[in-house]
Amino acid sequence: MLRTKIAGMGYYVPEKVVTNFDLMKMMDTSDEWIQERSGIIERRYAKKHEETTSTMGAAAARMAMDSCGVNPEEIDFIIFATLSPDYFFPGCGVLAQRALGISKKEIPALDIRNQCSGFIYGLEVADQFIKTGKYKNILLIASELQSHGLDFTTRGRNVSVLFGDGAGAVLLQPTEDDGKGILTTHLHSDGTEAEVLSLINPGSHSGYHLGKEQFGYPDIEYGGAFITDKMFNEHMLFPQMDGQAVFKKAVTKFPEVIHEALKAAGYSTQDVKLVIPHQANLRISQFVQRLLRLTDDQMYNNIQKYGNTTAASIPIAMCEAKQEGRFAEGDLVCLAAFGSGFTWASALIRF
């Protein structure tokens, strides 16, 4: 039976480091508040006019391809996960394809919109295509450029201090080694609380979900659908979050979906060398670690230096964990994510 293995990994983070003290110059916040609530010390911000979600994604992809000696013309399929695309459309998949110079074979590029769970959603999609023998080299990219769209005034501080920019990528290939590769994946979603963590505007909802008065949609039959004066004037063009609601749901769903993966593959938490959770918030990860009774050696965190890079956080963390020797060939690694939607997911991998 064919399985999917992670043949190559790469990541890219912008050069610019932004500390909590830098943010204190823009809004009423403190290093103490941010560290206490989220564990974040610093994050990276992309260079305006020079870096985008797709260029960072392409940089991570180049590293992933180089790490396993695959060249761009060998890629059969691109999957690109992000919540912060360069354009409303087309998606970042084709932009990364262009940036990587993959043009001769006119391969498909798929965009995934599952926020913090996007990487694992992409992994399961890729896994199906590889297991059926359809594709042999799939490039899965996850990249986020959040800093250009955050509210850096005190009004937006509950969200803006948490997020950072960066990208990660993996090169996926088939293996006939039955004990190796992606052992199981589990995806979930529940849209009943879709707006709890969201970027509502601009969008094509025209007030359908939350009321046209709230966003100032004019009563005209055509046009004027995406952005209104009210959205500009009343600062409605930024992400919003009910942090406590997210926290509560996250600390339930992370352990649930990790247990689900372990059970499906016949393992227990003791068998896992490393859990790499989506880097949502250090406090969430610590809570989950306690609930699962994992040792410090079994839990990977790097949110302290990158903030929450949403879809990109797992591949960045996985790449760094490998470089740091936190797992090696033969080890069992569990990936888990929870985020906006709500969506959540897990994957168990034998390296």
Q: Of these residues, 92, 114, 278, 302, which one is catalytic?
A: 278
Binding mask 276-305 for ligand ACO (x = CB under 6 A): ----xx-xx---------------------
49 is known as an active-site residue: no
Whether residue 14 contacts residue 167, with contact meaning beta carbons closer than 8 Å, is answered with no
Q: How far apart are the first and last CA of the chain?
A: 17
- Binders of ligand ACO among 118-157, rule CB under 6 A? 157
Provide the H-helix boundaries in the chain: 20-24, 31-38, 53-68, 92-99, 118-131, 157-160, 212-215, 229-233, 243-265, 282-292, 303-306, 313-323
Binding flag, residue 247, ligand ACO (CB under 6 A) = yes
Whether residue 129 contacts residue 67, with contact meaning beta carbons closer than 8 Å, is answered with no
Binding flag, residue 52, ligand ACO (CB under 6 A) = no
- Among the listed residues 115, 169, 155, the one whose alpha carbon sits nearest the alpha carbon of residue 311: 115
Stretch that binds ligand ACO, among 176-184, 220-228, 265-273, 275-283 (CB under 6 A): 275-283
- Binders of ligand ACO among 306-325, rule CB under 6 A? 308
Binding flag, residue 257, ligand ACO (CB under 6 A) = no
Binding flag, residue 224, ligand ACO (CB under 6 A) = no
Stretch that binds ligand ACO, among 74-82, 86-94, 158-166, 207-215 (CB under 6 A): 158-166
Whether residue 307 contacts residue 282, with contact meaning beta carbons closer than 8 Å, is answered with no
Say how far apart CA 167 and CA 57 lie, in whole Å.
5
Binding flag, residue 37, ligand ACO (CB under 6 A) = yes
Query: What residues make contact with ligand ACO under the rule CB under 6 A?
Result: 29, 33-34, 37-38, 116, 157-158, 161-162, 197, 243-244, 246-247, 250, 280-281, 283-284, 308, 338-339
